[in-house]
Amino acid sequence: MIGRSIISATEFGKVAVLMGGRSAEREISLTSGQAVLDALTKQNIDAYKVDVGLDISEQLVSGKFDRAFIILHGRGGEDGEIQGVLESLSIPYTGSDITGAVLSMNKTLSKDLWLQQGLATADFEQVTAGSDADALVARLGLPLIIKPVNEGSSIGMTKVNSASELAKAIEVATEFDAEVIAERWIEGEEYTVGILGQQALTVIQLKTPNEFYDFEAKYQSNTTEYLCPCGLTQQDEILCQKIALDAFNGLRMTGWGRIDFMRDQSGQFYLLEANCIPGMTDHSLVPMAAKEAGLSFDDLVLTILETSMGVKA
């Protein structure tokens, strides 16, 4: 059982809820940020919305904030940039530090580290516009998936079913990031595991009639199903949670986060990627899993805020 906050509201001081930003996930962040702000305000925390722009240092200094709740998604928020700004201003903040953010945002670095730890992740290669499609397909097979390395929310991703579709898919991903990878397609079920402190939360299974859990399935569709409890045997659920925690720690993530998985038809789990600042709308995945563990959305938000005080959840 995860503990509820034992810190009184005034001890947190003046809290900046950092949201928005300039990434492709700006709108999602504003929704998550508003939900966090409402939960903090409801619990008598002196919290303020701060939309992150180029003047963020000035906003933080002139606002005389005591700490920051970072609820930015994607670039500028999950990649170490805002963490660096806050470090330079000596303002404590929630979640992973610069290192954890850098390692979890970059899918190539994450996967390299996981392989070094002996954790399974789908085979992959860096690709460019000039990549030899037939040679790549000979190595990774079909279908495969093309992804920008530093992006989120399935943005810029394409499932490729034939070698002739590869060039277009790489072009699309390159619009979002200079670094692009091709990954072996894992046919099977999809799972995600929220982490709070050093606790892996209840596993959630995601089901979509789309080709994969794309942007539409994540935010717009009403045909996406979330299974929590997820239907795994107890033994497999424990295994999945253990891999998630090892993967989280391997990337030096701290405080909270979420680890995404595929599981193939033989039952093997493959790590997909890590999120150091997952969605926090009232229908997001970490809140859903926390609820199963007996933590309400409000409890969860306070527990995350506590991670800025070095308190272990």
Query: Which of 152, 255, 257, 279 is in the footprint of ligand ADP by CB under 6 A?
Result: 152
User: Does residue 186 belong to the site contacting ligand ADP (CB under 6 A)?
Assistant: yes
Query: Can you tell me whether residue 196 is helix, strand or coil?
Result: strand
With contacts defined by CB under 6 A, name the span among 35-43, 134-142, 147-155, 291-299 that binds ligand ADP. Answer: 147-155
Query: Would you say 52 and 258 are in contact if contact means Cβ atoms under 8 Å apart?
Result: no
Task: Give me the half-sphere count of Cα atoms (radius 13 Å) on the Cβ side of residue 185.
Answer: 17
User: Does residue 295 belong to the site contacting ligand ADP (CB under 6 A)?
Assistant: no
State the alpha helices, DSSP H only, in the chain.
26-42, 56-62, 81-88, 98-105, 107-117, 133-140, 166-174, 215-219, 234-250, 285-292, 297-306
Nearest distance from C-beta of residue 177 to Mg ion, angstroms: 15
Instruction: Output the six-digit token pair for 285.
Output: 């995945």
Nearest distance from C-beta of residue 311 to ligand ADP, angstroms: 28
Q: Which does 74 bind (CB under 5 to 8 A by kind): Mg ion, ligand ADP, none?
A: none
Active site residue 249: no
Of 144, 113, 114, 116, residue with least CA distance to 131 = 144
User: Does residue 127 belong to the site contacting ligand ADP (CB under 6 A)?
Assistant: no
Nearest distance from C-beta of residue 294 to ligand ADP, angstroms: 27
Q: Which does 185 bind (CB under 5 to 8 A by kind): ligand ADP, Mg ion, none?
A: ligand ADP
Instruction: Output the six-digit token pair for 221.
Output: 């569709």
Which strands sit side by side in the sheet containing 14-19, from one edge to the other? Answer: 46-51, 14-19, 67-70
Closest CB to Mg ion among 191 and 297?
A: 191
Closest CB to ligand ADP among 273 and 299?
A: 273
Site residues for ligand ADP, 191-250, by CB under 6 A, read 212-213
How much of the chain is in helix, strand and coil states, percent to nearest 5? 40, 20, 40
Active site residue 161: no
Torsion angles phi and psi, residue 234, rounded to 5 = -60, -40
Rounded distance between C-alpha atoms, residue 285 and residue 260, angstroms = 11
Closest CB to Mg ion among 83 and 192?
A: 192
Rounded distance between C-alpha atoms, residue 46 and residue 135, angstroms = 57
Nearest distance from C-beta of residue 142 to ligand ADP, angstroms: 12
Size of site (CB under 6 A) for ligand ADP: 17
User: What are the C-alpha distances in Å from 134 to residues 186, 207, 211?
Assistant: 19, 31, 23
User: Does residue 278 belong to the site contacting ligand ADP (CB under 6 A)?
Assistant: no
Question: Please, which residues bridge with residue 93 across strands?
Answer: 68
Site residues for Mg ion, 253-272, by CB under 5 A, read 260
User: Does residue 79 belong to the site contacting Mg ion (CB under 5 A)?
Assistant: no
Closest CB to ligand ADP among 213 and 256?
A: 213
Rounded distance between C-alpha atoms, residue 57 and residue 82, angstroms = 10
Going by DSSP bridges, is the β-strand pair 14-19/46-51 parallel, antiparallel, or unpaired? parallel
Q: Which does 122 bind (CB under 5 to 8 A by kind): Mg ion, ligand ADP, none?
A: ligand ADP
Contacts of 232 (CB under 8 A, 6+ apart): 191, 203, 205, 240
User: Does residue 261 belong to the site contacting ligand ADP (CB under 6 A)?
Assistant: no
Nearest distance from C-beta of residue 158 to ligand ADP, angstroms: 10
User: Does residue 262 belong to the site contacting ligand ADP (CB under 6 A)?
Assistant: yes
Q: Which residue is nearest to ligand ADP (CB)?
A: 213
> What are the residues binding Mg ion (CB under 5 A)?
260
Give the catalytic positions in this structure. 25, 153, 219, 258, 260, 273, 275, 279
> What are the residues binding ligand ADP (CB under 6 A)?
122, 145, 152-154, 157, 183-186, 190, 212-213, 260, 262, 272-273
